[in-house]
Amino acid sequence: MPSLIDLRRRIRAVKNTEKITKAMKTVSASKLRRAQERIMGARPFAREMQRVLYGLLTGIDVVAHPLLAPPDPGSSASALLIVITADKGLCGGFNSALLRRATAYVQDADNEVALALVGRKGRDFFRRRKMDVRYEEVNIFNDLQYIHAQAVAEMAIQQFTGNQVSSVHLLYNEFKSVIQQNVVVEQLLPIPRLTPSEDGTEMLAEYLFEPSSDQIFQTLLPQHVEVQIFRALLESAAAEHAARMTAMDAATRNAGEMIDSLTLHMNKVRQATITRELIEVVSGAQAL
């Protein structure tokens, strides 16, 4: 049976842990509010840009652009998977779910898969497994800016247009709510050509382009890639804060329950010690 001193030390340690988890929950809640505002502002623009782009592509028979070129069936080039994880832990199953999905994607792929890793957790995980890593980026979520998405997009476009990879996919956690985040895999390159029925948009009137359609798509398609990557980064940031807030809330509740249990056990031990001492005193008095 542990002594009173051991129980007091353990209660004090759990109380200190409870203070830390409570503070982390508060910080994550504050960051989540800002992250939600950013993602709610970015989603409409990204989705509308995607809708307009698909609408333009369905209204044009041929658009000669390397970002639209389908992969060569006989090509031996690897596929590129951009994995967006967190830089820190203590966020429940946020990172583990992503890493399991990424591992399964690599194992189930028909061709070789190269990786572009955004986030320290993903980088450390795959570095130990000696995977084909083409790109690494860490410590961007403390001050996430559009320039970070531009850097990732530039790398993906260079890999794809240089025929070093046959396709590019995004894997990230999509923010649904505070208690729900979904692991999503999206095709980024080649930019898919969807029919109006697949995209959910109606076919609009015939377009007149000024300047030419080639010049417009030369600017619009790379920007579309940047916007979709930036949206995925914002989704991941919001999902991370939500997962950490939920995990720290559960840890705080568990710490409180453990403190109550240890306090009850300590009181029982102390009561037993006092009772034993009283019995010894009474027994000694009777013996005299």
Closest-CA residue to 168 (of 179, 180, 158, 183): 158
Active site residue 133: no
Is the bond preceding residue 211 a cis peptide, omega within 30 degrees? yes
CA-CA distances (angstroms) from residue 33 to 18, 30, 38, 93? 23, 5, 9, 21
DSSP the chain: ---HHHHHHHHHHHHHHHHHHHHHHHHHHHHHHHHHHHHHHHHHHHHHHHHHHHHHHHT-S----GGGPPPPTT--PEEEEEEE--SS--STTHHHHHHHHHHHHHHH-SS-EEEEEESHHHHHHHHTTT--EEEEE-S-GGG--HHHHHHHHHHHHHHHHTTSEEEEEEEEEEEEETTEEEEEEEEEESPP---HHHHT----PPP--SS-HHHHHHHHHHHHHHHHHHHHHHHHHHHHHHHHHHHHHHHHHHHHHHHHHHHHHHHHHHHHHHHHHHHHHHHHHHH-
Kindly name the residue from 46, 67, 83, 91 that is annotated as catalytic.
Answer: 91
- What's the CA gap between 142 and 155, in Å, rounded? 22
What is the distance, to the nearest Å, from the Cα of residue 114 to the centroid of all Cα atoms in its chain? Answer: 19
Closest-CA residue to 97 (of 265, 240, 287, 241): 240
Catalytic residues: 91
